[in-house]
Structure 1
Amino acid sequence: MRQLELRHIRAFVCVTNHLHFSRAADELEIAAPSLTKLIQEAERLLGVRLFHRTKRSVVLSAAGSAYLAEALAALEHLARGEERAGLAERGELGRIEVGYVASAVYAGVLQRAVGAFRRLHPGVDISIREVPMDTIAAMLRDGLLDAAYVRPPMPLEDGIEATTVHRDRFVLALPEDSALAAAPELKPSQLRDQYFVLPEQEAGTFEVARRGRFSPRLGLRPGTLAAVLACVSLGGNVAVVPHALAGCIALPGVVYREIAGKPIASEIALAYRKFERAPAVRAFLAFAKNG
């Protein structure tokens, strides 16, 4: 069964605006007979008379007045849909799932990127969640995450890339009653006999051991940095952690000390799918990588 089309609705609304077929036809840039045909088709499909027409006047019928409100609403709805489609195409509308490791929050990287992007793109819904670093690559691959803040180095699957967005350095977290805590900085060799609590990113710990020419005594692997510091606060363990923690986590029983020598780089990177298609995600990645 044939139904009313958008061209019929637009023709009807245009005639109601002018109440004159010739002027309405000029606005629509069609011939007056073609406009008359469109209105006649609309009336036939609706089964009502939309206008009362004479040689001198055109007025809306009762049915036409009733239909006008719905026709205007339909056109407004379509215009809004067109606008939203354009916003989505430009990356200004959509949903993004962002994962992060805790140090991205401690360093302020997550807050700066997500907060600023939200202000610039209020139509984009960004969901954030802390995730274990060893699950991030698979979650990006499977579409459970669209972007993730990680601590390199970490293995990346095919199709996943990472760009450094923040640079820091590693420091030592020590029990405050440790004899080592008396010094403002410690040489790696001084840590030979210590037990190390391992955070998710182990690279700093093994670099300290390499510089100190010893094999590290490895203790617990509690997971998050907060859990690592909790282990240190109980005594008997040290940990190599990002310097950002020293500025924002003051835990009872824990002190931070510099590592002597060339700073050991501690980075935060943004991981993402190499061939991302979603405009909103691409817009966030471009913003976050340059922010």
Structure 2
Amino acid sequence: MDIRHFRYFLAVARLRNFTRAAEQLGIAPPTLSRQIQDMEQELGTRLFLRQQREVSLTEAGAALVIEAEATVRQFEFAQRNAQRAGRGDIGHIELGYVASAVYSGLLQKQVRAFSGECPDVSLNVRESPMAALPGMVLEGRFDIGYVRSPMTLPEGLEAIRLDAEGFVLAVSAESWLCRLPAIAPEHLQHETFILPEQISGTLQVAAQGGFAPTLGAQPGGLVAVIALVSLGQGVAVVPESVIGHIGLPGVLYRPIAGFEVTSWLSLIHRRFEKSPVVARYIERVRKQ
């Protein structure tokens, strides 16, 4: 027996008539009758008492109705879920991000929009060191990741370029630099640079100022970077989005005069993504 037999059986049980049940099912009455006989033969018991104009359930038939209805419901539920999973309507996504994706508000905006469109998709969202994120996506520990570009990606990953923003200088409020009306790249040649995870801003400030930078610690996340600045360990070239989000005592954020270099957030993903739900998230971001 297969699910078709249960559906045939339930149609006859509901309508109590082979002809009407066959019409509803879209098959010929002799075919329906033969399918029910096959069921009875396989079960070794009669399911219906056949009368001239209608049929009635035997005790065995009445017992089978309950189980047949549950079986058909479960089968249809599994069928619908498989179809929804194939469309990316349900599933699970592991998402990694760097802190500046949160400070910019982009991560919140895109996750909320996707969750509104696909409420039955669960997302596990975790911050991760940027240097480790591409490898974790490639290995499958994350499905997608928000990083700050430019950065070199391993073979097998692609990036979707998202919002760009400029850089500012995080500097101790006691630094001589704060007494200048404007801080230009050349003013920073004798400073020690605390390095965020994305160091392109630091390197390009030094290049524009015409000096080789003195590199200090690279403590990890932006909060740790700003903390070292507050302790007087150096200055840091950081994304503009930290303003208003990381405020530590003794730290000021100043523009860098004439420095218009930007960095941008990127969504990184596996080049040949097989999961429908992950592919749906990627495509939604790509269209935006």
Which TM-score bucket, shorter chain as reference? Answer: over 0.9
Aligned to 1:139: 136
Unaligned runs of 5+ in 2: none
Q: Secondary structure at the match of 1:118?
A: helix
Range with greater deviation from structure 2 (258-267 or 165-174): 258-267
CA distance in 1, matches of 2:186, 2:142: 41
**Pairwise CA distance, 1:71:** 0.9
Q: 1:107 aligns with which of 95, 104, 109?
A: 104
1:6 to 2:7 alignment: no
CA contact (8 A) 2:148 2:264 kept: yes
Q: 1:57 aligns with which of 54, 57, 74?
A: 54
**Pairwise CA distance, 1:99:** 0.9
Aligned to 1:126: 123
Aligned to 1:151: 148
Q: Secondary structure at the match of 1:227?
A: helix
CA distance in 1, matches of 2:244, 2:68: 61
CA distance in 2, matches of 1:225, 1:19: 73
Query: Cα RMSD between the aligned structures?
Result: 1.4
Amino acid paired to 2:112? G
Aligned to 1:241: 238
Q: 2:268 aligns with which of 266, 271, 287?
A: 271
Aligned to 1:182: 179
CA offsets 1:4-63 (integer angstroms, 9 cap, x no match): 211210110110121101111122222222211111111222233211112233111222
**Pairwise CA distance, 1:150:** 0.7
CA distance in 2, matches of 1:99, 1:254: 28
CA distance in 2, matches of 1:254, 1:133: 24
Aligned to 2:210: 213
Percentage identity across paired residues of the two chains: 44
Amino acid paired to 2:269? Y
Q: 1:227 aligns with which of 201, 224, 228?
A: 224
Q: Secondary structure at the match of 1:151?
A: strand
Q: Secondary structure at the match of 1:97?
A: strand
CA distance in 1, matches of 2:42, 2:180: 89
CA distance in 2, matches of 1:183, 1:286: 47
Unaligned runs of 5+ in 1: none
Range with greater deviation from structure 2 (170-179 or 133-142): 133-142
| TM-score (ref. length: structure 1) | 0.95
| Aligned residue pairs, count | 288
Aligned to 1:66: 63
1:27 to 2:17 alignment: no
Q: Secondary structure at the match of 1:48?
A: coil
**Pairwise CA distance, 1:244:** 0.1
Structural mapping, 1:276-291, within 5 Å = 276-291=273-288
Amino acid paired to 2:170? A
| TM-score (ref. length: structure 2) | 0.96
Q: Secondary structure at the match of 1:240?
A: strand
Aligned to 2:257: 260
Aligned to 1:172: 169
Amino acid paired to 1:199? P
Amino acid paired to 1:65? A
CA distance in 1, matches of 2:180, 2:109: 34
CA offsets 1:208-248 (integer angstroms, 9 cap, x no match): 11111111111111011110001001113100000000121
**Pairwise CA distance, 1:184:** 5.7
Aligned to 1:41: 38
Aligned to 2:74: 77
CA contact (8 A) 2:92 2:277 kept: yes
Range with greater deviation from structure 2 (79-88 or 218-227): 79-88
Amino acid paired to 2:91? G
